[in-house]
Amino acid sequence: KCEVVVCPTFVCLDAVKKAVEGTNIKIGAQNMHFEEKGAFTGEIAPRMLEAMNIDYVIIGHSERREYFNETDETCNKKVKAAFAHNLTPILCCGETLEQRENGTTNDVIKAQITADLEGLTKEQAEKVVIAYEPIWAIGTGKTATSDQAN
């Protein structure tokens, strides 16, 4: 089974959702905050995405982890919040060049996924979409082979 999911910027979510109406294309948000309410300027609450009938949300993207200091604990809270609001999480995971060269790729990714999915039911964990995002390949011109990605 294969689904096509488009994750536009927040300001385009509604327009893109309308543009793909009547197709099998699903819409995802590029991020969300895990808190239900509070002063989180610039963040999107999960209930807002649910109210817009958004299908998916990206969690743990390397840019969020690097520039916004998002941790596995934060990602875990986001994954749980996504499920609480009928959103399917697209969980990004990946290793740095140093980790890759040290041969710890599998250990790093296993630890990330284990921490990010902690406390989920088996049914929830099976619904999470895992997106392998090799950090070492971002902006370097290097790409992961299909064997590396699998």
pLDDT string in tens for the chain (150-residue length): 789 999 999 999 999 999 999 999 999 999 999 998 888 888 999 999 999 999 999 999 999 999 999 999 999 999 999 999 999 999 999 998 889 889 999 999 999 999 999 999 999 999 999 999 888 887 666 677 777 766
Residue 149 lies in a domain: no
Quote the CA–CA distance of 33 and 4 in Å, as a whole number. Answer: 24
Q: Identify whether 61 is a catalytic site residue.
A: yes
DSSP β-ladder status, 88-93 and 56-59: parallel
For residue 92, the enclosing domain spans 5-35+43-138
Query: Are 73 and 85 spatial neighbours (Cβ–Cβ below 8 Å)?
Result: no
User: Considering the domain boundaries, does residue 144 fall inside one?
Assistant: no
**Is position 145 within any domain?**
no
Q: Identify the pLDDT of residue 146.
A: 76
Q: Which of 70, 85, 95, 133 is catalytic?
A: 133
CATH number at residue 122: 3.20.20.70
| Domain count along the chain | 1
The residue length of the chain stands at 150
Residue 150 is assigned to a structural domain of this protein? no
How many Å apart are CA 94 and CA 131, to the nearest integer?
Answer: 9
For the question of residue 33 being annotated catalytic, the response is no
Which residue is catalytic, options 61, 70, 85, 95? 61
pLDDT score at 33: 96
Confidence (pTM): 0.90
